[in-house]
């Protein structure tokens, strides 16, 4: 997994002696990035990294699970057997400049770390995001597999849904098919919306029943070896719905246009602005103001890995990035359309995964 290469990217430009990652009830994505662990919860566990090595401070509960997955460059320490053992393991940070993930670390954990008297605690969350932007071969392979599972699951469910089914039933089917194909779980709570509910981008499935001629929106993603997919499909169920079908055709064309614009060196935020301007001006403005979110986002260990299409430091596209591209238009009271695919940036442009 080339731990040292990942550590070099994280430590580059960071004026720190050590990196400290502290999990909560969920794992910090950077814990997964530096261990590659796909099994175990590692709740409240620590990771301490130098420029050369990663040490995982765990408990007897997870010790064997960690040992069985540890790769070269990853040391496993059973540090939670006693209070003395824990203090000894954490004493390494005393007098050192410590980098932490300020986007994840809780206030209580921050105060706990201070008690071990590091010389400085520095938020290096931007370094961590930048280190994960460009994916290595094994990461791309995992994302590609997650995408493949997700697309197949949506197609299978699309073929089997029937009038009278609820949004919750369809969402459960999607999740079941993804797991049956080898997904470890979902990247996020699957969104299924029927009819007017499709106008709400983050509508959570409920007891709404499917009717003939309804718009159907499915937004879901499989997780495979910790890596996420994020795919959205919108279609009309049953009888023709001309207005909805025209919206779908338009959004598909917009997505294709956007994907063709994504190349190394391009400013992703500017692409998003151009797409919004095009949607607003289309046919005299029939969709003006109806594209209400960013064009997309980075994807990887997190379903929203980086805000690439927003006004952030990560907006310059590089070869090896993986991005979700998701234009949409939404009419409250009628319905909405979103089409989303995950792409890989290579030297010539974007490849749909």
Q: What is the DSSP string of 153-170?
A: HHHHHHHH--TT-BHHHH
DSSP code, position 316: B
User: Which pLDDT does position 9 carry in this prediction?
Assistant: 93
Which of left, alpha, beta for 40 (phi over 0: left; psi -120 to 50: alpha)? left
Q: Which two tokens stand for residue 286?
A: 């029939």
The answer as to CATH 3.40.1160.10 being correct for domain 137-352 is: no
Give the full edge-to-edge strand order of the sheet including 185-186: 185-186, 222-224, 227-228
Q: Are 322 and 343 in contact (CB under 8 A)?
A: yes
Percent of the chain past pLDDT 90, that is, above it, reads: 94
Which residue ranges make up each domain of the chain?
3-133, 137-352
d(CA 137, CA 20): 26
pLDDT(75) > 90 = yes
pTM comes to 0.94
Helices (H), the chain: 3-11, 29-35, 60-69, 83-90, 107-114, 125-133, 137-160, 167-180, 242-261, 268-281
DSSP element (H, E) containing 331:
strand 328-331
pLDDT band at 1 (very low <50, low <70, confident <90, very high): low
Q: Are 99 and 122 in contact (CB under 8 A)?
A: yes
d(CA 14, CA 167): 47
Q: Are 315 and 269 in contact (CB under 8 A)?
A: yes
- The fold for domain 3-133 equals Creatine Amidinohydrolase; Chain A, domain 1 (3.40.350)
Q: Which two tokens stand for residue 49?
A: 């990294």
pLDDT(353) > 60 = yes
pLDDT(72) > 60 = yes
Q: Are 257 and 272 in contact (CB under 8 A)?
A: no
Which of helix, strand or coil describes residue 310?
coil
d(CA 302, CA 277): 29
Q: Report pLDDT digits (tens) over 270-305.
A: 999 999 999 999 999 999 999 999 999 999 999 999
Percent of the chain past pLDDT 70, that is, above it, reads: 100
């Amino acid at each position: 997994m080339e731990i040292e290469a990942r550590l070099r990217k994280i430590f580059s430009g960071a004026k720190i002696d050590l990196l400290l990652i502290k999990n909560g009830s969920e794992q910090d994505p950077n814990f997964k990035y530096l261990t590659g662990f796909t099994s175990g919860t590692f709740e409240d566990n620590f990771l301490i990294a130098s420029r050369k090595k990663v040490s995982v401070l765990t408990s007897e509960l997870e010790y064997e699970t960690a040992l069985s997955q540890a790769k070269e460059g990853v040391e496993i320490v059973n540090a939670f057997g006693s209070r003395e053992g824990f203090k000894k393991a954490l004493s390494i940070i005393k007098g050192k400049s410590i980098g932490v993930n300020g986007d994840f670390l809780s206030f209580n954990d921050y105060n706990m770390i201070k008690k071990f008297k590091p010389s400085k605690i520095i938020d290096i969350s931007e370094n961590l995001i930048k280190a994960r932007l460009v994916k290595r071969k094994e990461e791309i392979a995992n994302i590609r597999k997650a995408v493949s599972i997700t697309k197949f699951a949506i197609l299978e469910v699309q073929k089997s849904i029937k009038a009278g089914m609820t949004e919750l039933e369809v969402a459960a089917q999607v999740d079941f098919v993804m797991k049956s194909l080898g997904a470890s779980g979902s990247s996020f709570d699957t969104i299924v919306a029927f009819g007017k509910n499709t106008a709400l981008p983050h509508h959570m499935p409920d007891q709404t029943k499917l009717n003939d001629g309804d718009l159907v929106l499915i937004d879901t993603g499989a997780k495979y070896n910790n890596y996420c997919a994020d795919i959205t499909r919108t279609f009309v169920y049953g009888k023709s719905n001309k207005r909805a079908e025209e919206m779908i055709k338009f959004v598909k064309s917009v997505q294709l246009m956007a994907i063709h614009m994504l190349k190394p060196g391009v400013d992703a935020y500017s692409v998003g602005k151009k797409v919004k301007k095009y949607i607003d001006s289309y046919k005299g403005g029939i969709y003006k103001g109806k594209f209400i979110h960013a064009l997309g986002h980075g994807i990887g260990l997190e379903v929203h890995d980086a805000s690439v299409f927003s006004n952030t430091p990560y907006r310059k596209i590089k070869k090896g990035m993986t991005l979700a591209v998701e234009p949409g238009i939404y009419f409250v009271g009628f319905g909405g359309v979103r089409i989303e695919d995950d792409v890989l940036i290579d030297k010539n442009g974007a490849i749909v995964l």
